[in-house]
Structure 1
Amino acid sequence: MVRLPLTPAEVERGRRLGALLRRARGERSMLLTALDAGVSPETLRKIESGRIATPAFPTIAAIADVLGLSLDAVWSEINKSDGAAELPPPAGTAHERLAS
């Protein structure tokens, strides 16, 4: 399977997601947060640093649950862009991304 390059909007959304999760985690240990969410500490570290810009939905849902964040709040926060237009939701398929 060939993975398409990320768009600039996806990269920026990933950075905002990582920053949101770092803030929400606060003083809580990355290790304990990751274990409670059922993900590896390395995965959480990569998401928080923006290195995984498009993590799987179940991963984000599990981390958000552990941190007490609603998915609506996460979506709303990562789509804020300092006065720029709101980012569209990610396309459902690679075919849709190639067509745009």
Structure 2
Amino acid sequence: MVRLPLTPAELDRGRRLGTLLRSARGDRPMLDTALAAGVSPETLRKIESGRVATPAFSTVAAIATVLGLSLDTVWAEVSAPDAEQARPRASA
């Protein structure tokens, strides 16, 4: 099976997701957070760094739950810039 390359928008969303999760984790150790969410520390590190731009929904949900983030909050933070980019721009 061949996986199509990610679009720039998907890569941007992945970076925003990573930034949000890293910020929400604060000073909490990555190992503790990963184990509590049931993911490997390597997976969490890759998501936080943006290297995994499209993690599984269940993975995001588990990490968000551990960090006390609602999925509504995650979606709003991760998708907000896309909505602005999709708006037509007025021509000058």
Q: Same fold (TM over 0.5)?
A: yes
Instruction: Work out whether residues 9 and 82 of structure 2, in 8 Å CA contact, stay in contact via their aligned partners in 1.
Output: no
Q: Residue 23 of structure 1 aligns to which amino acid in structure 2?
A: S
- What per-residue deviation string (whole Å, max 9, x for no partner) do you get for residues 24-76 of structure 1? 00000000000000000000000000000000000000000000000010000
Per the alignment, residue 72 of structure 2 pairs with 72
Paired residues in the alignment total 86
TM-score, length-scaled by structure 2? 0.88
- Asked which structure has the greater CA Rg, the reply is 2
TM-score, length-scaled by structure 1? 0.81
Cα RMSD, aligned residues only = 1.5
Per the alignment, residue 61 of structure 1 pairs with 61
Measured at CA, do residues 48 and 82 of structure 1 come closer, stay the same or move farther in structure 2, by a change above 3 Å?
same
Q: Residue 81 of structure 2 aligns to which amino acid in structure 1?
A: S
Structure with higher helix content? 2
Moved more, 71-80 or 34-43: 71-80
The answer to whether structure 1 residue 31 and structure 2 residue 20 are counterparts is no
